[in-house]
């Protein structure tokens, strides 16, 4: 009987080992399938992102086509009256500004605004008695965009407090000496 029990115990161990090997094989297969699905998902995502970039680039380029068409027309009429050419160029500029605004980058009117380092690039400052210090008193190059979506900051001149005026008489004190 002891021999029969040993054979039964050995058979049970062999069955359990076979079952564990089958379970490991199933798990390995499941892991390989999941890894392959993940790799396919990555490839699809990369491809879709590339297609989306091209769609967006195409939409932006298509938005600019009427501007290019009007520039071509302006060049065809380059020999026309200079006033009409200037008027045409202004119209094309307005059309370009409209395209930028539709794309989410409107031109900002920053003259008189408080200086904001996110929206403005101070290229100069000037004493100004009529504007509070830190106010934009001139826009040298306009900025485009809004909020966190800035195409470029405006290049501006910022007001500083006016310099104190010298006392009358060239800065001399009552005792005849120049002030220090």
Looking up residue 44, the CATH number of its domain turns out to be 3.90.20.20
- pLDDT: is 13 or 113 the higher one? 113
Separation of alpha carbons 168 and 164, rounded Å: 12
Q: Is the pTM above the cut of 0.75?
A: no
Q: Is residue 166 part of a domain?
A: no
Overall number of domains in the chain: 2
Same domain, 127 and 52: no
CATH code at position 152 = 2.30.22.10
The pLDDT value given to residue 180: 45
Q: Is residue 87 part of a domain?
A: yes
Once rounded to an integer, what is the mean pLDDT over residues 15-44?
Answer: 96
Is the confidence at residue 176, as pLDDT, over 80? no
Separation of alpha carbons 15 and 7, rounded Å: 12
Once rounded to an integer, what is the mean pLDDT over residues 50-73?
Answer: 90
Contact indicator for 92, 67 with CB cutoff of 8 Å: yes
Separation of alpha carbons 92 and 72, rounded Å: 11
The pLDDT value given to residue 171: 56
| Residue 143 backbone zone (phi > 0: left; psi -120 to 50: alpha; other: beta) | beta
Separation of alpha carbons 141 and 180, rounded Å: 41
Same domain, 10 and 67: yes
Same domain, 50 and 87: yes
Tell me which residue range forms the domain holding 136: 105-160
Q: Is residue 175 part of a domain?
A: no
The H-or-E segment that residue 136 falls in is strand 136-141
Segment 151-175, tens digit of pLDDT? 999 999 999 998 887 766 655 555 5
Q: Is residue 176 part of a domain?
A: no
Is the confidence at residue 36, as pLDDT, over 50? yes
The tokens describing 82, both together, are 């200079």
Q: Is residue 168 part of a domain?
A: no
- pLDDT: is 124 or 162 the higher one? 124
Q: Is 143 exposed, middle or buried (0-12, 13-18, 19+ CB in 10 A)?
A: buried
Same domain, 86 and 5: yes
Q: Is residue 173 part of a domain?
A: no
Segment 71-118, tens digit of pLDDT? 888 888 878 888 888 888 999 999 999 999 999 999 999 999 999 999
| Domain final residue, candidates 80, 103, 126 | 103
Is the confidence at residue 126, as pLDDT, over 50? yes
Place of tokens 């800065």: 171
CB atoms within 10 A of CB 136: 22
Start-to-end C-alpha separation, the chain: 121
Q: Is residue 165 part of a domain?
A: no
Is the confidence at residue 143, as pLDDT, over 80? yes
Same domain, 40 and 109: no
The tokens describing 116, both together, are 């904001």
Same domain, 23 and 78: yes
């Amino acid at each position: 009987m002891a021999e029969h029990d040993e054979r039964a115990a050995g058979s049970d161990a062999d069955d359990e080992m076979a079952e564990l090997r089958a379970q490991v094989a199933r798990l390995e297969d499941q892991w390989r399938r999941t890894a392959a699905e993940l790799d396919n998902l990555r490839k699809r995502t990369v491809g879709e992102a590339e297609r989306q970039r091209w769609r967006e680039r195409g939409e932006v380029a298509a938005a600019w086509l009427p501007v290019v068409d009007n520039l071509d027309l302006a060049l065809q009429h380059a020999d026309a009256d200079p006033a009409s050419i200037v008027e045409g160029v202004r119209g094309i500029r307005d059309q370009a500004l409209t395209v930028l605004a539709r794309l989410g980058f409107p031109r900002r009117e920053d003259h008189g605004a408080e200086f904001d380092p996110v929206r403005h690039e101070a290229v100069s400052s000037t004493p100004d008695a009529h504007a509070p210090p830190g106010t934009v008193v001139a826009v040298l190059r306009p900025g485009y965009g809004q909020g966190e979506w800035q195409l470029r900051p405006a290049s501006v001149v910022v007001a500083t407090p006016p310099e104190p005026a010298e006392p009358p008489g060239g800065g001399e004190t009552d005792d005849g000496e120049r002030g220090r």
